[in-house]
Structure 1
Amino acid sequence: MSATISSRCLPSPEFATFTESSFFSRNGPDAQLPLPEDVRARSATQSKWTQTGVQPARFQELGLVVKFGRAPRVTVAEGQCLWALRRALPNFPVPEIYGWTHDGGDVFIYMELLHGVTLEERWETLGQTERSSICAQLRVLVTSLRSLQQTPDDESFLGHVNREPLGDIIFTDNETRPPAGPFQSVAEFHDWLSLQIRTGLEVHWPGKQPCEIPDPYRDGLPDDAAVTFTHGDLHPSNIIISVDSPCRIVALIDWRQSGWYPDYWEACKAYYTAEVGGEWMEKYIPLFIDEPACIDAFDDYARAFGY
């Protein structure tokens, strides 16, 4: 029987502290998660602003890392996703979630501080055998993730785990674009994609509305694709591996773009974010996920969105 996730059974998006988590068993039942002002202060001593926002604050003494910021870069949906995955797939390697809160417009997600390095950091030191082993482990994880099902009492949808709009960076980098869902079907999602890339082209098609402008890519998207749970950014920078050998995957991180997508999305994003012609794209991605037939259409839409 397949594991399931229900959007109806997620913890409150407003505030959550998981007292049964290892944070409290490790630090004592009277331990407290750092206040938002303490998180900001710690972050200020550790990192600076980057193009993607503030880096998470690390509390080594507590075995804790806190990801914080504003939507769409940081949302409670990511914390709810980690909570759901740990329960639906207990052996799936993701950071343990300790809680979340809001303060001053920012979302704070309290998570396990992992011991390891990113695959990106260690890649050049790995031999072919270890690289292939990591990809074999990834294939098992991707297969496990794709086996997840929505519960029968949860009407089928495409969206974040909590039924919020999809958070893929392709959609969320432009704040003027309407929310990506949630959608009731793959066809509805594809129609939304199609309408978005035609909106604004009216100047080139006098007298026509966006929905009347031809879309040369639409037929390349398969409306009969299954809906599967998707990480959305299987880049080496989001794969934490062990420092020692034999090399093993410690966790997959950065689930902010995750959710229920058409089954081709995971592979298309992995290929699209890889260096064109590089060995990760040409040799290693095919070891953990199959290239879908619609990859060219996906690329066309991603470029049309300006990604």
Structure 2
Amino acid sequence: MESERDQYSTGSNKRDVQHKGTGKLAIHNTVFRRWLSLLALKTTARFYISMGSCFPITRNKIVKTGPYVHLTEGATIEFIAQNTSIPMPRVHCSFVHKNRAYIVMRRIRGNDLPTAWQKLSEQSRQKVFDQLRSMIQEMRSLKPPPGTGVESCVGGSLRDSRIPRSNPRFGPFKTIQEFHLWLREGLQPSRIEGRESDSDWQDVRDMVAAQDKSWPPPVFTHADLNPFNILISGDRVVGPIDWELSGWYPNYWEYTSAWLGSATRIEWRNTIDKFLEPFPNELKMDATRQKWWGEF
């Protein structure tokens, strides 16, 4: 039987089997809840404005579904809710129907950061950063189970739409070095020899050396801390949202993902250091990786 590691570590397109073997991740998966959720998507959802892959079905409930939505996200929301004080929505149920995942959860009410930003005083902005820093530090302090590599909270595959080889998911990887090797499509140092005068290859050589070093254990990472994924009410953070990319990653991944994923958000880049621990050397390393193997 093909394991999830076999399915995704090569980055091949496996959309048709991405939900294979994920039944154990379903939450409160009863016939009645499935029927009621699917019915609501065809009826009451018409009275609300959808937001990407999120469809309100009542004033206080939304259904997240789409071609790349995975039951892992619902499991992640519960994992963070049970192990931290970070505000998270309650997951009412999650299930797969006709090769499509559905996550029914409580609707978080708040404005995304860009919408609210101009109305915030400097004092209120600092309060927001302080709360974000505390939340991220709490999440990063979670202890990975022994033997954890780069993987989801349930030890399975991950998704990152910014990685071209994520089709639609990748991993898990036993080690951070194995993850790095996959990111650079198996490039080994021996293939860089003899190019000392080529500045681009020197950058790649430095990247490979940094990637292949010894790394501390992975830390739990949201992996998509862009300003639209942070909701606030007044100057209170009501929650980071969109946990679909989250999992156990190298310690720098939160910072480099937030920074490199915000190429068009210069003001946001200038604020990231106010709530995330900076990793300048790893940022240079990952910038080289994204230049040659990423979409940016």
User: What interval of TM-score do these two structures reach, taking the shorter chain for normalisation?
Assistant: 0.7 to 0.9
Question: Percent of pairs identical after alignment?
Answer: 24
Write out the 4+ residue segments of structure 1 that deviate beyond 6 Å after TM superposition: 30-33
Residue 181 of structure 1 pairs with residue 171 of structure 2:
yes
Quote how far apart the aligned CAs of 1:35 are: 2.7
2:28 counterpart (17, 26, 40): 17
Q: Secondary structure at the match of 1:218?
A: helix
- Residues 1:112 and 2:106 aligned together: yes
SS of structure 1 residue aligned to 2:185: helix
CA distance in 2, matches of 1:188, 1:237: 31
CA deviation profile, 1:150-208 (whole Å, cap 9, x unmatched): 234xx322111122222122236653x8x532111111111221225x5xxxxxxxxxx
Q: Which amino acid aligns with 2:191?
A: I
Runs (5+) with no aligned partner, structure 1? 1-10, 20-29, 199-209
The answer on whether the counterparts of 1:171 and 1:180 sit within 8 Å (CA) in structure 2 is no
Superposed, which structure 2 residues align to 1:71-150 within 5 Å? Answer: 73-89=68-84, 91-150=85-144
CA distance in structure 2 between the aligned counterparts of 1:92 and 1:174, rounded to whole angstroms: 28
Unpaired segments ≥5 residues, structure 2? 1-21, 193-203
Deviations 1:55-87 (A, max 9, x none): 3111334x21110112xx310000000111111
Residue number in structure 2 paired with 1:35: 37
Change (3 A) 1:140 1:42: same
CA contact (8 A) 1:100 1:110 kept: yes
The number of equivalent residue pairs is: 259
3-state SS in 1 of match to 2:239: strand
Please give the TM-score of this superposition, normalised by the length of structure 1: 0.75
Deviation digits for residues 38-60 of structure 1 (CA, Å, limit 9, x no counterpart): 32454455457x9xxx4311133
Q: Which residue of 2 aligns with 1:235?
A: 226
CA distance in 1 between counterparts of 2:53 and 2:179 reads 32
Distance of aligned partners of 1:258 and 1:39 in 2 relative to their CA distance in 1, 3 Å threshold: same
What is residue 273 of structure 1 aligned with on the other side?
Answer: 261
Match 1:158 to one of 150, 153, 156: 150
Shift of 1:95: 1.4
C-alpha RMSD over aligned residues: 2.8
What is the aligned partner in structure 2 of residue 171 from structure 1?
163
In 2, distance between residues paired with 1:174 and 1:31? 31
Match of 2:245 in 1: 257
For residue 65 of structure 1, what is the aligned residue in structure 2?
Answer: 62
Aligned match of 1:5 = none
Do the aligned partners of residues 191 and 16 (structure 1) sit closer, same or farther apart at CA in structure 2, a change above 3 Å counting?
A: same
